[in-house]
Structure 1
Amino acid sequence: MNASFSNALATAREAAGHQHYPQGALYVVATPIGNLADITLRALHVLAIADTIACEDTRHTQTLLRAYGIEKSSHQLLAVHQHNEAEASGRVLEKLHAGERVAYVSDAGTPAVSDPGARLAHAVTAGGLRVLPLPGASSITTALSAAGLVHDSGHFVFEGFLSTRSAERDAAVRKIAAEPRAVVLLEAPHRIEALATALVALGTREITLARELTKQFESIHTLPASDVPAWLQEDTQRTRGEFVVVVHAAAAVTEPGDDAGARALKLLLDEGVPLKSAVKIAAQWTGGSRNTLYDLALSLRKDAVRDTD
Protein backbone atom coordinates (compact mmCIF):
# COMPACT_ATOMS: atom_id res chain seq x y z
CA MET A 1 0.00 0.00 0.00
CA ASN A 2 1.10 3.55 -0.74
CA ALA A 3 1.56 5.08 2.72
CA SER A 4 -0.38 8.15 1.65
CA PHE A 5 -3.53 6.02 1.35
CA SER A 6 -3.21 4.12 4.64
CA ASN A 7 -6.49 5.56 5.92
CA ALA A 8 -8.30 5.74 2.60
CA LEU A 9 -10.07 2.37 2.74
CA ALA A 10 -11.38 2.94 6.27
CA THR A 11 -12.65 6.36 5.23
CA ALA A 12 -14.25 4.85 2.12
CA ARG A 13 -16.07 2.23 4.20
CA GLU A 14 -17.32 4.88 6.59
CA ALA A 15 -18.45 7.25 3.84
CA ALA A 16 -19.88 4.78 1.32
CA GLY A 17 -20.37 1.50 3.16
CA HIS A 18 -23.91 2.24 4.32
CA GLN A 19 -25.20 2.41 0.74
CA HIS A 20 -26.78 -0.55 -1.03
CA TYR A 21 -24.57 -2.42 -3.51
CA PRO A 22 -26.72 -5.07 -5.17
CA GLN A 23 -25.29 -8.42 -6.12
CA GLY A 24 -25.43 -9.59 -9.71
CA ALA A 25 -24.63 -6.10 -10.99
CA LEU A 26 -21.84 -4.61 -13.09
CA TYR A 27 -20.14 -1.57 -11.55
CA VAL A 28 -18.43 0.65 -14.13
CA VAL A 29 -15.73 2.40 -12.09
CA ALA A 30 -13.73 5.46 -13.12
CA THR A 31 -10.10 5.41 -11.98
CA PRO A 32 -7.45 8.17 -11.92
CA ILE A 33 -5.93 9.40 -15.19
CA GLY A 34 -2.60 10.01 -13.47
CA ASN A 35 -2.76 11.31 -9.92
CA LEU A 36 -3.63 8.45 -7.56
CA ALA A 37 -5.45 10.85 -5.25
CA ASP A 38 -8.15 11.35 -7.89
CA ILE A 39 -10.08 8.26 -6.80
CA THR A 40 -13.50 8.52 -5.22
CA LEU A 41 -14.36 7.00 -1.87
CA ARG A 42 -17.21 5.06 -3.45
CA ALA A 43 -14.86 3.65 -6.09
CA LEU A 44 -12.48 2.43 -3.38
CA HIS A 45 -15.29 0.75 -1.50
CA VAL A 46 -16.74 -0.97 -4.58
CA LEU A 47 -13.32 -2.21 -5.69
CA ALA A 48 -12.78 -3.60 -2.20
CA ILE A 49 -16.09 -5.49 -2.04
CA ALA A 50 -16.20 -6.64 -5.67
CA ASP A 51 -16.06 -10.40 -6.16
CA THR A 52 -14.43 -9.94 -9.56
CA ILE A 53 -12.70 -6.99 -11.17
CA ALA A 54 -12.82 -6.98 -14.94
CA CYS A 55 -10.07 -4.80 -16.34
CA GLU A 56 -8.31 -3.69 -19.49
CA ASP A 57 -4.90 -4.83 -18.18
CA THR A 58 -4.75 -7.13 -15.14
CA ARG A 59 -1.16 -6.21 -14.28
CA HIS A 60 -1.85 -2.49 -14.38
CA THR A 61 -5.00 -2.88 -12.29
CA GLN A 62 -3.27 -5.09 -9.73
CA THR A 63 -0.64 -2.37 -9.23
CA LEU A 64 -3.38 0.24 -8.82
CA LEU A 65 -5.29 -1.87 -6.30
CA ARG A 66 -2.20 -2.55 -4.20
CA ALA A 67 -1.41 1.18 -4.08
CA TYR A 68 -4.73 1.60 -2.24
CA GLY A 69 -4.25 -1.46 -0.06
CA ILE A 70 -6.85 -3.55 -1.87
CA GLU A 71 -5.79 -7.19 -2.17
CA LYS A 72 -7.29 -9.34 -4.90
CA SER A 73 -6.01 -12.69 -6.09
CA SER A 74 -5.16 -13.20 -9.74
CA HIS A 75 -8.29 -15.38 -9.99
CA GLN A 76 -10.42 -12.35 -9.10
CA LEU A 77 -9.08 -10.32 -12.03
CA LEU A 78 -10.56 -10.86 -15.48
CA ALA A 79 -9.05 -9.33 -18.62
CA VAL A 80 -11.64 -7.48 -20.71
CA HIS A 81 -10.02 -5.38 -23.44
CA GLN A 82 -10.68 -4.29 -27.01
CA HIS A 83 -9.49 -7.58 -28.49
CA ASN A 84 -11.63 -9.93 -26.38
CA GLU A 85 -14.51 -7.77 -25.11
CA ALA A 86 -17.25 -9.67 -26.91
CA GLU A 87 -16.02 -13.06 -25.69
CA ALA A 88 -15.15 -11.88 -22.17
CA SER A 89 -18.59 -10.30 -21.76
CA GLY A 90 -20.04 -13.81 -21.71
CA ARG A 91 -17.82 -14.73 -18.76
CA VAL A 92 -18.88 -11.57 -16.93
CA LEU A 93 -22.54 -12.43 -17.51
CA GLU A 94 -21.98 -15.88 -16.01
CA LYS A 95 -20.52 -14.31 -12.88
CA LEU A 96 -23.36 -11.82 -12.62
CA HIS A 97 -25.98 -14.56 -12.96
CA ALA A 98 -24.17 -16.37 -10.15
CA GLY A 99 -24.80 -13.33 -7.94
CA GLU A 100 -21.34 -11.79 -8.03
CA ARG A 101 -20.58 -8.09 -7.92
CA VAL A 102 -18.31 -7.34 -10.88
CA ALA A 103 -16.46 -4.04 -11.18
CA TYR A 104 -15.06 -2.95 -14.53
CA VAL A 105 -12.12 -0.53 -14.85
CA SER A 106 -10.11 0.60 -17.85
CA ASP A 107 -6.44 1.51 -17.54
CA ALA A 108 -7.28 5.11 -16.65
CA GLY A 109 -10.30 7.38 -16.52
CA THR A 110 -13.91 6.53 -17.27
CA PRO A 111 -14.50 3.20 -19.06
CA ALA A 112 -16.34 3.04 -22.39
CA VAL A 113 -15.27 6.59 -23.35
CA SER A 114 -12.57 5.96 -25.98
CA ASP A 115 -11.77 2.89 -23.88
CA PRO A 116 -13.23 -0.63 -23.74
CA GLY A 117 -16.41 -1.14 -21.74
CA ALA A 118 -19.26 -0.11 -24.03
CA ARG A 119 -19.81 -3.62 -25.42
CA LEU A 120 -19.68 -5.07 -21.94
CA ALA A 121 -22.23 -2.59 -20.59
CA HIS A 122 -24.48 -3.26 -23.58
CA ALA A 123 -24.28 -7.02 -23.10
CA VAL A 124 -25.13 -6.75 -19.41
CA THR A 125 -28.09 -4.46 -20.06
CA ALA A 126 -29.31 -6.66 -22.91
CA GLY A 127 -29.13 -9.61 -20.50
CA GLY A 128 -31.57 -7.89 -18.16
CA LEU A 129 -28.97 -7.12 -15.51
CA ARG A 130 -27.97 -3.83 -13.91
CA VAL A 131 -25.11 -1.54 -14.87
CA LEU A 132 -24.18 0.92 -12.12
CA PRO A 133 -21.79 3.74 -13.10
CA LEU A 134 -19.42 5.28 -10.58
CA PRO A 135 -18.34 8.68 -11.94
CA GLY A 136 -14.85 10.02 -11.55
CA ALA A 137 -11.79 11.15 -13.49
CA SER A 138 -12.00 11.81 -17.23
CA SER A 139 -9.28 13.38 -19.33
CA ILE A 140 -11.92 14.86 -21.63
CA THR A 141 -13.81 16.89 -19.05
CA THR A 142 -10.57 17.70 -17.22
CA ALA A 143 -9.14 19.35 -20.35
CA LEU A 144 -12.40 21.11 -21.18
CA SER A 145 -12.63 22.62 -17.70
CA ALA A 146 -9.28 24.37 -18.18
CA ALA A 147 -9.55 25.29 -21.87
CA GLY A 148 -11.64 28.43 -21.33
CA LEU A 149 -14.20 27.82 -24.06
CA VAL A 150 -15.83 31.23 -23.85
CA HIS A 151 -17.45 31.02 -27.31
CA ASP A 152 -18.81 27.51 -27.00
CA SER A 153 -21.64 27.74 -24.46
CA GLY A 154 -20.70 24.31 -23.14
CA HIS A 155 -21.24 22.53 -26.46
CA PHE A 156 -18.53 20.24 -27.80
CA VAL A 157 -17.98 17.20 -30.00
CA PHE A 158 -15.78 14.30 -28.93
CA GLU A 159 -13.80 12.79 -31.82
CA GLY A 160 -11.08 10.94 -29.89
CA PHE A 161 -8.16 9.61 -31.93
CA LEU A 162 -8.09 10.58 -35.61
CA SER A 163 -6.84 8.15 -38.22
CA THR A 164 -3.10 7.51 -38.39
CA ARG A 165 -3.32 7.70 -42.20
CA SER A 166 -2.51 11.21 -43.38
CA ALA A 167 -5.20 11.42 -46.06
CA GLU A 168 -7.94 10.31 -43.67
CA ARG A 169 -6.61 12.58 -40.91
CA ASP A 170 -6.59 15.58 -43.26
CA ALA A 171 -10.16 14.79 -44.31
CA ALA A 172 -11.19 14.68 -40.64
CA VAL A 173 -9.55 18.07 -40.05
CA ARG A 174 -11.54 19.53 -42.95
CA LYS A 175 -14.71 18.36 -41.23
CA ILE A 176 -13.52 19.90 -37.97
CA ALA A 177 -12.98 23.20 -39.79
CA ALA A 178 -16.67 23.21 -40.72
CA GLU A 179 -17.80 22.19 -37.22
CA PRO A 180 -19.10 25.24 -35.28
CA ARG A 181 -18.67 23.59 -31.88
CA ALA A 182 -15.51 22.81 -29.96
CA VAL A 183 -13.93 19.47 -30.86
CA VAL A 184 -12.01 17.23 -28.44
CA LEU A 185 -9.27 14.97 -29.77
CA LEU A 186 -6.91 12.49 -28.14
CA GLU A 187 -3.39 11.81 -29.31
CA ALA A 188 -0.32 9.78 -28.41
CA PRO A 189 3.13 11.39 -28.06
CA HIS A 190 4.62 9.74 -31.16
CA ARG A 191 1.80 11.13 -33.34
CA ILE A 192 1.24 14.59 -31.85
CA GLU A 193 3.48 16.38 -34.37
CA ALA A 194 1.66 14.81 -37.31
CA LEU A 195 -1.67 15.91 -35.84
CA ALA A 196 -0.29 19.41 -35.22
CA THR A 197 0.76 19.68 -38.86
CA ALA A 198 -2.71 18.67 -40.01
CA LEU A 199 -4.36 21.19 -37.68
CA VAL A 200 -2.43 24.08 -39.28
CA ALA A 201 -5.26 24.12 -41.83
CA LEU A 202 -7.46 25.64 -39.09
CA GLY A 203 -5.41 28.84 -39.19
CA THR A 204 -6.03 31.19 -36.26
CA ARG A 205 -8.58 28.94 -34.58
CA GLU A 206 -7.45 28.39 -31.02
CA ILE A 207 -6.13 25.02 -29.86
CA THR A 208 -5.62 23.93 -26.25
CA LEU A 209 -2.97 21.25 -25.79
CA ALA A 210 -3.44 19.47 -22.45
CA ARG A 211 -0.52 17.13 -21.80
CA GLU A 212 0.02 14.63 -18.97
CA LEU A 213 -3.10 15.82 -17.14
CA THR A 214 -2.96 15.48 -13.32
CA LYS A 215 0.62 14.15 -13.48
CA GLN A 216 3.84 15.77 -12.27
CA PHE A 217 4.70 17.35 -15.62
CA GLU A 218 1.17 18.45 -16.57
CA SER A 219 1.02 21.33 -19.03
CA ILE A 220 -1.92 23.16 -20.58
CA HIS A 221 -1.27 25.67 -23.34
CA THR A 222 -3.58 27.53 -25.73
CA LEU A 223 -2.42 29.02 -29.03
CA PRO A 224 -3.55 29.43 -32.66
CA ALA A 225 -3.59 26.23 -34.71
CA SER A 226 -1.06 27.65 -37.16
CA ASP A 227 1.49 28.07 -34.35
CA VAL A 228 1.23 24.59 -32.83
CA PRO A 229 3.96 22.77 -34.85
CA ALA A 230 6.59 25.44 -34.13
CA TRP A 231 5.62 25.56 -30.46
CA LEU A 232 6.05 21.80 -30.11
CA GLN A 233 9.45 21.91 -31.81
CA GLU A 234 10.77 24.59 -29.44
CA ASP A 235 11.14 22.04 -26.64
CA THR A 236 11.33 18.26 -27.01
CA GLN A 237 9.60 17.88 -23.64
CA ARG A 238 6.43 19.32 -25.17
CA THR A 239 5.86 16.21 -27.30
CA ARG A 240 6.09 13.76 -24.42
CA GLY A 241 3.08 12.25 -22.69
CA GLU A 242 -0.53 11.66 -23.60
CA PHE A 243 -2.48 14.56 -25.08
CA VAL A 244 -6.02 15.88 -25.02
CA VAL A 245 -6.36 18.42 -27.84
CA VAL A 246 -9.26 20.85 -27.67
CA VAL A 247 -10.11 22.69 -30.88
CA HIS A 248 -12.03 25.77 -29.80
CA ALA A 249 -15.16 26.81 -31.61
CA ALA A 250 -14.59 29.35 -34.32
CA ALA A 251 -15.26 32.83 -32.96
CA ALA A 252 -18.22 34.65 -34.43
CA VAL A 253 -17.15 36.85 -37.32
CA THR A 254 -17.55 40.56 -36.75
CA GLU A 255 -16.75 43.47 -39.01
CA PRO A 256 -15.18 46.74 -37.84
CA GLY A 257 -17.79 49.33 -37.12
CA ASP A 258 -20.50 50.15 -34.65
CA ASP A 259 -20.99 46.62 -33.30
CA ALA A 260 -20.71 45.10 -29.80
CA GLY A 261 -17.08 44.05 -30.24
CA ALA A 262 -15.99 47.42 -31.53
CA ARG A 263 -17.87 49.28 -28.79
CA ALA A 264 -16.36 47.06 -26.07
CA LEU A 265 -12.89 47.50 -27.55
CA LYS A 266 -13.16 51.29 -27.70
CA LEU A 267 -14.41 51.45 -24.12
CA LEU A 268 -11.49 49.35 -22.88
CA LEU A 269 -8.92 51.36 -24.82
CA ASP A 270 -10.42 54.63 -23.54
CA GLU A 271 -9.98 53.29 -19.99
CA GLY A 272 -6.28 52.74 -20.63
CA VAL A 273 -6.33 48.94 -20.98
CA PRO A 274 -3.28 47.78 -23.03
CA LEU A 275 -4.08 47.03 -26.64
CA LYS A 276 -3.55 43.26 -26.59
CA SER A 277 -5.45 42.85 -23.34
CA ALA A 278 -8.31 45.00 -24.64
CA VAL A 279 -8.57 42.88 -27.79
CA LYS A 280 -8.59 39.64 -25.78
CA ILE A 281 -11.25 40.87 -23.33
CA ALA A 282 -13.47 42.32 -26.06
CA ALA A 283 -13.31 39.07 -28.03
CA GLN A 284 -14.21 37.02 -24.94
CA TRP A 285 -17.08 39.32 -23.98
CA THR A 286 -18.70 39.56 -27.39
CA GLY A 287 -17.58 36.51 -29.35
CA GLY A 288 -15.91 38.77 -31.90
CA SER A 289 -12.97 37.75 -34.05
CA ARG A 290 -9.72 38.45 -32.22
CA ASN A 291 -7.91 39.20 -35.50
CA THR A 292 -10.60 41.62 -36.65
CA LEU A 293 -10.64 43.40 -33.30
CA TYR A 294 -6.85 43.61 -33.27
CA ASP A 295 -6.85 45.30 -36.68
CA LEU A 296 -9.53 47.68 -35.45
CA ALA A 297 -7.51 48.47 -32.33
CA LEU A 298 -4.47 49.35 -34.45
CA SER A 299 -6.65 51.59 -36.58
CA LEU A 300 -8.09 53.32 -33.51
CA ARG A 301 -4.61 53.87 -32.10
CA LYS A 302 -3.39 55.39 -35.35
CA ASP A 303 -6.41 57.70 -35.41
CA ALA A 304 -5.67 58.75 -31.82
CA VAL A 305 -2.04 59.57 -32.75
CA ARG A 306 -3.15 61.67 -35.72
CA ASP A 307 -5.61 63.56 -33.53
CA THR A 308 -2.81 64.61 -31.18
CA ASP A 309 -0.51 65.81 -34.00
Structure 2
Amino acid sequence: MAGKSMHAFCYEGYGGGAAALKKVEIPVPTPKKGEILVKVEAASINSVDLKIQNGVMRPLYPKFPCVPLFDVTGEVVNIGAGVNDFQPGDKIVTLLDFKVGGLAEYTVAPTNRIAKRPHEVSAVEAASLPVAAATAFQALELVGATFDGTGKPFNVLITAASGGVGHFAVQLAKLAGLHVTATCGARNIDFVKSLGADEVLDYRTTEGESLKSPSGKKYDAVVHCTVGIAWSVFEKNLSKNGKVIDLTPGFSSFVTLALKKITFSKKQLVPYFANIGSKDLEFLVGLVKDGKLKPVIDSKHSFDKAPEAWAKSMEGHATGKIVIEI
Protein backbone atom coordinates (compact mmCIF):
# COMPACT_ATOMS: atom_id res chain seq x y z
CA MET A 1 0.00 0.00 0.00
CA ALA A 2 2.99 2.25 -0.49
CA GLY A 3 2.01 5.74 -1.49
CA LYS A 4 -1.58 5.45 -0.29
CA SER A 5 -3.05 7.73 2.36
CA MET A 6 -5.44 7.14 5.25
CA HIS A 7 -7.46 9.06 7.81
CA ALA A 8 -6.28 9.34 11.41
CA PHE A 9 -6.83 11.49 14.47
CA CYS A 10 -3.85 13.22 16.03
CA TYR A 11 -2.89 16.05 18.37
CA GLU A 12 0.01 18.43 17.86
CA GLY A 13 1.06 19.39 21.38
CA TYR A 14 0.63 18.68 25.07
CA GLY A 15 -2.75 19.24 26.67
CA GLY A 16 -5.93 20.41 25.01
CA GLY A 17 -8.06 17.36 25.76
CA ALA A 18 -10.62 16.20 23.23
CA ALA A 19 -10.62 19.54 21.41
CA ALA A 20 -7.00 18.95 20.40
CA LEU A 21 -7.84 15.81 18.42
CA LYS A 22 -7.92 16.63 14.72
CA LYS A 23 -8.81 14.38 11.81
CA VAL A 24 -6.00 14.36 9.26
CA GLU A 25 -4.88 12.50 6.15
CA ILE A 26 -1.47 10.85 6.44
CA PRO A 27 0.44 8.10 4.59
CA VAL A 28 -0.37 4.47 5.31
CA PRO A 29 2.62 3.10 7.29
CA THR A 30 4.82 0.36 5.86
CA PRO A 31 5.58 -2.69 8.04
CA LYS A 32 9.26 -3.20 8.77
CA LYS A 33 11.03 -6.40 9.77
CA GLY A 34 9.02 -8.20 12.45
CA GLU A 35 5.93 -6.03 11.93
CA ILE A 36 2.53 -6.41 10.31
CA LEU A 37 0.24 -3.87 8.71
CA VAL A 38 -3.25 -3.94 10.23
CA LYS A 39 -6.52 -2.55 8.91
CA VAL A 40 -7.94 -1.29 12.19
CA GLU A 41 -11.46 -2.36 13.14
CA ALA A 42 -11.60 -1.03 16.71
CA ALA A 43 -9.39 0.63 19.32
CA SER A 44 -9.92 1.43 22.98
CA ILE A 45 -8.90 4.29 25.25
CA ASN A 46 -6.90 3.83 28.45
CA SER A 47 -6.05 6.35 31.15
CA VAL A 48 -2.41 6.25 30.03
CA ASP A 49 -3.47 7.74 26.67
CA LEU A 50 -4.83 10.80 28.47
CA LYS A 51 -1.75 11.07 30.67
CA ILE A 52 0.54 10.95 27.64
CA GLN A 53 -1.36 13.83 26.05
CA ASN A 54 -0.84 15.79 29.28
CA GLY A 55 2.92 15.22 29.21
CA VAL A 56 3.51 12.40 31.66
CA MET A 57 6.27 10.98 29.41
CA ARG A 58 7.79 14.25 28.21
CA PRO A 59 10.30 14.81 26.74
CA LEU A 60 10.76 11.19 25.62
CA TYR A 61 7.32 10.72 24.11
CA PRO A 62 5.39 11.58 22.06
CA LYS A 63 6.75 13.19 18.97
CA PHE A 64 4.21 15.48 17.34
CA PRO A 65 1.89 15.15 15.59
CA CYS A 66 0.87 12.16 17.75
CA VAL A 67 -1.67 9.54 16.70
CA PRO A 68 -2.85 8.11 20.06
CA LEU A 69 -4.12 4.73 21.34
CA PHE A 70 -2.30 1.42 21.80
CA ASP A 71 -5.15 -1.13 22.08
CA VAL A 72 -6.08 -2.27 18.59
CA THR A 73 -7.82 -5.11 16.79
CA GLY A 74 -8.22 -5.62 13.06
CA GLU A 75 -7.19 -7.59 10.00
CA VAL A 76 -3.68 -8.23 8.74
CA VAL A 77 -3.25 -6.76 5.25
CA ASN A 78 0.52 -7.00 4.81
CA ILE A 79 3.55 -8.43 6.60
CA GLY A 80 7.13 -7.30 6.99
CA ALA A 81 10.27 -9.37 6.54
CA GLY A 82 10.75 -12.27 8.91
CA VAL A 83 7.08 -12.62 9.84
CA ASN A 84 6.01 -16.26 9.62
CA ASP A 85 3.17 -16.67 12.14
CA PHE A 86 0.72 -14.25 10.53
CA GLN A 87 -0.58 -13.71 7.04
CA PRO A 88 -2.99 -11.35 5.27
CA GLY A 89 -6.56 -12.05 6.29
CA ASP A 90 -5.77 -13.02 9.90
CA LYS A 91 -7.86 -11.28 12.55
CA ILE A 92 -5.65 -10.13 15.41
CA VAL A 93 -5.56 -8.11 18.62
CA THR A 94 -2.42 -6.21 19.52
CA LEU A 95 -0.75 -3.78 21.85
CA LEU A 96 1.11 -1.23 19.76
CA ASP A 97 4.50 0.20 20.61
CA PHE A 98 5.36 3.90 20.67
CA LYS A 99 6.15 4.16 16.95
CA VAL A 100 2.57 4.61 15.76
CA GLY A 101 -0.92 4.93 17.18
CA GLY A 102 -4.14 3.04 16.67
CA LEU A 103 -6.61 5.88 16.13
CA ALA A 104 -6.27 5.48 12.37
CA GLU A 105 -7.54 3.38 9.51
CA TYR A 106 -4.26 1.43 9.38
CA THR A 107 -1.39 0.86 11.77
CA VAL A 108 1.71 -1.33 12.10
CA ALA A 109 2.12 -3.73 15.00
CA PRO A 110 5.10 -5.65 16.44
CA THR A 111 4.64 -9.42 16.35
CA ASN A 112 5.79 -9.88 19.97
CA ARG A 113 2.51 -8.38 21.23
CA ILE A 114 -0.11 -9.96 18.98
CA ALA A 115 -2.71 -12.69 19.44
CA LYS A 116 -5.00 -14.12 16.80
CA ARG A 117 -8.67 -13.24 17.30
CA PRO A 118 -11.12 -16.13 16.89
CA HIS A 119 -14.53 -15.43 15.38
CA GLU A 120 -16.17 -15.96 18.79
CA VAL A 121 -14.50 -12.76 20.04
CA SER A 122 -15.89 -9.53 18.58
CA ALA A 123 -13.72 -6.63 17.50
CA VAL A 124 -15.11 -4.45 20.28
CA GLU A 125 -14.38 -7.10 22.92
CA ALA A 126 -10.86 -7.70 21.62
CA ALA A 127 -10.01 -3.98 21.49
CA SER A 128 -10.82 -3.66 25.20
CA LEU A 129 -8.27 -6.26 26.31
CA PRO A 130 -4.59 -5.39 25.82
CA VAL A 131 -3.68 -2.75 28.41
CA ALA A 132 -6.51 -3.15 30.92
CA ALA A 133 -7.04 -6.90 31.05
CA ALA A 134 -3.36 -7.79 30.74
CA THR A 135 -2.41 -5.32 33.48
CA ALA A 136 -5.03 -6.84 35.81
CA PHE A 137 -3.82 -10.34 34.92
CA GLN A 138 -0.16 -9.57 35.60
CA ALA A 139 -0.93 -7.77 38.86
CA LEU A 140 -2.80 -10.81 40.15
CA GLU A 141 -0.02 -13.16 39.06
CA LEU A 142 2.44 -10.92 40.90
CA VAL A 143 0.63 -11.50 44.21
CA GLY A 144 0.42 -15.25 43.69
CA ALA A 145 -2.85 -15.85 41.87
CA THR A 146 -2.89 -18.88 39.56
CA PHE A 147 -5.39 -19.82 36.91
CA ASP A 148 -4.82 -23.55 36.56
CA GLY A 149 -6.59 -24.66 39.72
CA THR A 150 -3.39 -25.25 41.69
CA GLY A 151 -3.30 -22.06 43.75
CA LYS A 152 -4.41 -21.46 47.30
CA PRO A 153 -7.25 -18.97 47.93
CA PHE A 154 -6.48 -15.67 49.61
CA ASN A 155 -8.14 -12.31 50.18
CA VAL A 156 -7.71 -9.52 47.67
CA LEU A 157 -8.95 -5.92 47.57
CA ILE A 158 -9.53 -4.32 44.17
CA THR A 159 -9.99 -0.55 44.02
CA ALA A 160 -11.91 1.25 41.25
CA ALA A 161 -13.45 -2.11 40.42
CA SER A 162 -15.96 -0.79 37.89
CA GLY A 163 -13.28 0.78 35.69
CA GLY A 164 -11.29 -0.58 32.77
CA VAL A 165 -8.63 -2.47 34.73
CA GLY A 166 -10.76 -3.07 37.81
CA HIS A 167 -13.66 -4.87 36.14
CA PHE A 168 -11.22 -7.31 34.57
CA ALA A 169 -9.35 -7.74 37.86
CA VAL A 170 -12.53 -8.76 39.71
CA GLN A 171 -13.39 -11.40 37.14
CA LEU A 172 -9.85 -12.76 36.94
CA ALA A 173 -9.51 -12.88 40.72
CA LYS A 174 -12.66 -14.97 40.96
CA LEU A 175 -11.37 -17.28 38.22
CA ALA A 176 -8.29 -17.76 40.42
CA GLY A 177 -10.51 -18.71 43.37
CA LEU A 178 -9.82 -15.61 45.46
CA HIS A 179 -12.08 -13.87 47.97
CA VAL A 180 -12.68 -10.43 46.45
CA THR A 181 -13.52 -7.19 48.20
CA ALA A 182 -13.95 -4.30 45.76
CA THR A 183 -14.50 -0.55 45.82
CA CYS A 184 -16.59 1.50 43.40
CA GLY A 185 -19.16 4.30 43.35
CA ALA A 186 -22.62 3.66 44.78
CA ARG A 187 -24.23 3.52 41.33
CA ASN A 188 -21.98 0.58 40.36
CA ILE A 189 -22.27 -1.60 43.45
CA ASP A 190 -24.73 -4.03 41.88
CA PHE A 191 -22.65 -4.12 38.70
CA VAL A 192 -19.47 -5.03 40.58
CA LYS A 193 -21.33 -7.69 42.54
CA SER A 194 -22.50 -9.14 39.21
CA LEU A 195 -18.84 -9.53 38.20
CA GLY A 196 -18.38 -11.87 41.15
CA ALA A 197 -17.10 -9.64 43.97
CA ASP A 198 -17.85 -11.11 47.39
CA GLU A 199 -17.98 -7.73 49.13
CA VAL A 200 -18.35 -4.24 47.64
CA LEU A 201 -17.54 -0.93 49.35
CA ASP A 202 -18.72 2.53 48.27
CA TYR A 203 -15.44 4.41 47.81
CA ARG A 204 -17.06 7.74 48.67
CA THR A 205 -17.71 6.60 52.22
CA THR A 206 -14.74 4.30 52.76
CA GLU A 207 -11.62 5.41 50.91
CA GLY A 208 -9.53 7.83 52.92
CA GLU A 209 -11.15 6.60 56.14
CA SER A 210 -11.26 2.82 56.21
CA LEU A 211 -11.11 0.07 53.64
CA LYS A 212 -12.02 -2.53 56.22
CA SER A 213 -13.69 -5.62 54.84
CA PRO A 214 -17.29 -6.02 56.03
CA SER A 215 -16.40 -9.58 57.03
CA GLY A 216 -13.37 -8.37 58.98
CA LYS A 217 -10.88 -10.14 56.69
CA LYS A 218 -7.39 -8.73 56.29
CA TYR A 219 -6.20 -8.38 52.71
CA ASP A 220 -3.32 -10.53 51.53
CA ALA A 221 -3.10 -8.40 48.40
CA VAL A 222 -4.48 -5.20 46.91
CA VAL A 223 -4.77 -4.47 43.20
CA HIS A 224 -4.84 -0.68 43.37
CA CYS A 225 -6.32 0.80 40.19
CA THR A 226 -6.85 4.41 41.24
CA VAL A 227 -5.18 7.25 43.15
CA GLY A 228 -5.75 9.23 46.31
CA ILE A 229 -5.60 6.52 49.01
CA ALA A 230 -2.86 6.89 51.59
CA TRP A 231 -0.56 3.96 52.39
CA SER A 232 -1.63 4.20 56.04
CA VAL A 233 -5.21 3.31 55.03
CA PHE A 234 -4.03 0.20 53.23
CA GLU A 235 -1.46 -0.78 55.85
CA LYS A 236 -3.90 -1.24 58.73
CA ASN A 237 -6.06 -3.52 56.59
CA LEU A 238 -3.27 -5.76 55.27
CA SER A 239 -2.36 -9.19 56.56
CA LYS A 240 1.14 -9.76 57.97
CA ASN A 241 2.69 -10.19 54.53
CA GLY A 242 0.15 -8.13 52.59
CA LYS A 243 1.19 -6.49 49.36
CA VAL A 244 -0.30 -3.50 47.48
CA ILE A 245 0.27 -3.49 43.72
CA ASP A 246 0.03 0.17 42.71
CA LEU A 247 -0.95 0.38 39.04
CA THR A 248 -0.96 4.19 38.95
CA PRO A 249 2.21 4.96 40.91
CA GLY A 250 3.34 8.47 41.68
CA PHE A 251 6.35 9.85 43.54
CA SER A 252 4.86 8.98 46.94
CA SER A 253 4.60 5.33 45.89
CA PHE A 254 8.35 5.08 45.36
CA VAL A 255 9.02 6.88 48.66
CA THR A 256 6.81 4.39 50.49
CA LEU A 257 8.52 1.49 48.72
CA ALA A 258 11.92 2.75 49.87
CA LEU A 259 10.77 3.26 53.47
CA LYS A 260 9.31 -0.23 53.67
CA LYS A 261 12.61 -1.69 52.49
CA ILE A 262 14.62 0.36 54.97
CA THR A 263 12.42 -0.75 57.87
CA PHE A 264 12.31 -4.38 56.65
CA SER A 265 8.53 -4.31 56.73
CA LYS A 266 6.81 -7.46 55.48
CA LYS A 267 3.93 -5.31 54.26
CA GLN A 268 4.86 -3.94 50.86
CA LEU A 269 3.78 -1.36 48.31
CA VAL A 270 4.90 -2.26 44.79
CA PRO A 271 4.72 0.37 42.01
CA TYR A 272 4.02 -1.67 38.91
CA PHE A 273 4.12 -1.16 35.16
CA ALA A 274 2.95 -4.14 33.12
CA ASN A 275 5.19 -5.69 30.47
CA ILE A 276 2.62 -7.22 28.13
CA GLY A 277 3.40 -9.83 25.51
CA SER A 278 1.70 -12.19 23.10
CA LYS A 279 1.23 -14.96 25.68
CA ASP A 280 -0.77 -12.62 27.92
CA LEU A 281 -3.01 -11.61 25.03
CA GLU A 282 -3.46 -15.20 23.85
CA PHE A 283 -4.52 -16.30 27.34
CA LEU A 284 -7.02 -13.46 27.73
CA VAL A 285 -8.50 -13.88 24.26
CA GLY A 286 -8.94 -17.55 25.08
CA LEU A 287 -10.85 -16.71 28.26
CA VAL A 288 -13.18 -14.43 26.31
CA LYS A 289 -13.68 -17.09 23.65
CA ASP A 290 -14.61 -19.65 26.32
CA GLY A 291 -17.02 -17.27 28.05
CA LYS A 292 -14.91 -17.10 31.23
CA LEU A 293 -14.06 -13.40 30.91
CA LYS A 294 -16.54 -10.75 29.78
CA PRO A 295 -15.29 -7.35 28.61
CA VAL A 296 -17.79 -4.71 29.71
CA ILE A 297 -18.17 -1.89 27.22
CA ASP A 298 -19.16 1.47 28.65
CA SER A 299 -19.78 2.94 25.22
CA LYS A 300 -18.99 2.51 21.53
CA HIS A 301 -18.21 5.44 19.25
CA SER A 302 -17.76 5.77 15.52
CA PHE A 303 -14.40 6.88 14.14
CA ASP A 304 -15.65 10.40 13.38
CA LYS A 305 -16.87 10.69 17.00
CA ALA A 306 -13.44 9.93 18.46
CA PRO A 307 -13.21 13.33 20.21
CA GLU A 308 -16.48 12.56 22.01
CA ALA A 309 -15.06 9.23 23.18
CA TRP A 310 -11.92 11.05 24.38
CA ALA A 311 -14.01 13.58 26.30
CA LYS A 312 -16.03 10.83 27.93
CA SER A 313 -12.87 9.07 29.01
CA MET A 314 -11.58 12.32 30.53
CA GLU A 315 -14.62 12.42 32.81
CA GLY A 316 -13.20 9.40 34.63
CA HIS A 317 -16.49 7.65 35.34
CA ALA A 318 -16.64 4.98 32.63
CA THR A 319 -18.04 1.61 33.65
CA GLY A 320 -15.74 -0.77 31.80
CA LYS A 321 -14.10 0.29 28.55
CA ILE A 322 -14.67 3.00 25.94
CA VAL A 323 -14.17 1.70 22.40
CA ILE A 324 -13.91 3.45 19.03
CA GLU A 325 -15.01 1.49 15.96
CA ILE A 326 -13.07 2.36 12.81
Normalising by the smaller structure, the TM-score range is under 0.3
Structure of greater relative contact order (alpha carbons < 8 Å, 6+ residues apart) = 2
| Greater strand share, structure number | 2
Using the size of structure 1 for normalisation, the TM-score is 0.27
Using the size of structure 2 for normalisation, the TM-score is 0.26
| Greater helix share, structure number | 1
Question: Which one has a bigger Cα radius of gyration?
Answer: 1
